[in-house]
Amino acid sequence: MALDESIKVPLPRQGIVRYKSGDVVYAYYITRIYRNKKGKPTNDRVSIGKIDNETGMLIPNKNYYEIYAKETPIKDNDIESIKSCGVTFLIDGQFRETGLYDVLKRKFPQNAHKIIALAEYMLCEGNVMSYYEDWYDEVYPHNGTKLSSPEISRVFQSIDYKSRMDFFKTWIYARKQHEYIVYDVTSISSYSRGIESLECGYNRDKESLPQLNFAMYYGQESMLPLYYCVYPGSVPDKTHLTYMLRDNELIGCKNVKYVLDRGFFCSDNLKYMTEAGARFIISIPNSSTFAKELIDKHRSEIVNRSECRLGKDLPYVKSVIKEDFGIRFKAHIYYSPSKAADEENLLFEDIEKCENALRQMSEPPSRTLRYDRYFKINHKKGGGIGFIRDTEKINAIISRLGFFIIVETDFEASSYDILMTYRRRDVVEKSFDELKNELDMKRIHCHNNQTTEGKMFVAFIALIMRSWIQNKLKEYMSINSISFTNILKELRKIKYVNTKDGRKLLSPITKKQRDIMNTCGISTDDLQAWLTKLSV
């Protein structure tokens, strides 16, 4: 039977070989790979059609449908559409398992399905929403939701402040109440001029662009994003912490235990958190007077003292109860010999670099360049400068290398537990990286406040889903050396043929695809049952 050249389908990405005969390239599906009697690798294969020269797509024959639709025979002109369904099937199921589906249905009754479909799109494709319609043509989205660019903008604009806060109040209530919450901030840049929060400030990506700041709560045990807030890019991180604490009343976040890095350290924040009834773990900058005095006082009681050793590859530590900054807390003073050695090498590299620069100078450098932290510098009468190393200052710096201090108001946890809890704060940094790079939110492609706020909310929903699915697949991904992005690509290969008489014919499921679904607690039977309910 001649091929119907009006029908073209995407060329399968794996398991095929191509053979050229004259000007025609034929595609063959490999049914078996083995070694022949001479031990050489070979395979059995069957033709599935020919490749269209102009588009590179496959013009399928009956074998294609037998292999990829699992039914025989269907006529070529019976096909209504061919769509990918595996990736959205998995995400749909996980939406319901997290409880997000029910929360969104209650808080956004008119647009819940659209928000979920857009979150699925962002999870798979990023944040350039103008490609949503092209994606819809290839993939079955949540609830078969088809949206134009103007409709997407209207969905974003409908996600107002009250609805968002109502959502957070319900979502954060479901968190593990005893877990530590990691709090951190990242910046997101934009070329737009219509977003009020875009202001110049400390840009973490080293870009000379206005930005908005994105602050987030992340559950350290649940490993899920819990809450976020967007605020002007010029506001310092440590200044905004008090406003996040005030939001706790609005979202019903009680009995909070925070983990924060040293960028949030200041006496006002420590006092405010304590007065607000929150407990915290926070690192103290070694440059602070408090840290220097604490290290100098207890150095001899910690360095190489067997009673202070935590264990193999772990630092030495001494904890002391302090009353300072208007509060009572416990300070854990850690010392790592390997950290001290690394920091000493970097210190003398910096000293030698500054020394070489001073030799080239004819006038004393500006004090703002801080050469005086290592050197005594003077102006020679005949011109030029003289300098010598300030050994007293350098020795003082060396004496504090390898130390780091963590203060906390838990009081019940051990120095080991506090260290491990603090080290796990990087979960939020990884989540920010995924938000900006994997979900493509490094730039905001919006032009007004309402659309931006709504889009950030949908991105946050997508981030929750990414975290949830990654948590389930973490061990599988590690054992099989496969990235989350490739997991999504693998599932996207699962397709179905929608016939004009209403049948939905599922393509064969590979072992890898089945293993991924099983790891997430779903089966091919679940997929088949879901498929029969699809509207298109």
138 found inside a domain: yes
Does residue 282 form part of some domain?
Answer: no
Among residues 361, 378, 399, the one where a domain terminates is: 399
Domain assignment present for 351? yes
User: For residue 503, is it within any domain?
Assistant: no
Region of 21 (left: φ > 0; alpha: ψ -120 to 50; beta: rest) is beta
What does the alpha-carbon distance between residue 139 and residue 159 come to, in Å, rounded to a whole number?
25
Q: Beta strands of 146-255 (E only): which ranges?
A: 181-189, 211-219, 225-232
Would you state the structure tokens that stand for residue 128, as one six-digit string? 């350039």
Rounded distance between C-alpha atoms, residue 333 and residue 317, angstroms = 5
State the pLDDT at residue 536.
60
CA 536/CA 517 separation, integer angstroms:
23
- Classify residue 464: in a domain, yes or no: yes
Residue after which a domain boundary falls, among 399, 424, 442? 399
Which conformational region is residue 258 in: left (phi greater than 0), alpha (psi within -120 to 50 degrees), or beta?
beta
Q: What is the pairing mode between strands 79-84 and 495-499?
A: antiparallel
- Contacts of range 32-38, beta carbons closer than 8 Å, 24 or more positions apart: none
pLDDT in tens, 449-499: 888 899 999 999 999 999 999 999 999 999 999 999 999 999 998 888 877
98 in any annotated domain: yes
Q: 457, 56 in Cβ contact below 8 A?
A: no
Number of domains in the chain: 2
DSSP letter assigned to residue 411: -
Structure tokens of 286?
Answer: 């070694």
| Residue 451, H or E segment | helix 449-480
User: Is the dihedral angle over the CA atoms 240, 243, 245, 247 positive or is it negative?
Assistant: negative
Residue 341 burial by CB count (10 A; 0-12/13-18/19+): exposed, middle or buried?
exposed
Query: Could you say which of 431, 459, 480 is where a domain stops?
Result: 480
Give me 384's structure tokens.
């030029």
pLDDT of residue 1: 45
Low-confidence ranges of the chain (pLDDT < 50): 1, 71-73
In order of 285, 351, 399, 530, the CA distances from 393 in angstroms are: 18, 12, 10, 70
Q: Which two tokens stand for residue 377?
A: 């510098």
Tokens read off for 88: 């959205």
Same domain, 456 and 392: no
The reply to whether 208 falls in a domain is: no
Give the CA diameter of the chain. 100
As a three-state string, the secondary structure of 65-122 is HHHHCCCCCCCHHHEEEEEECHHHHHHHHHHHHHCHHHHHHHHCCCCHHHHHHHHHHH
| Cα–Cα distance, 491 to 90 (Å, whole number) | 8
In a domain, 461, yes or no: yes
HSE of 313, CA atoms in CB hemisphere, 13 A: 1
Q: Which domain holds residue 357?
A: 338-399
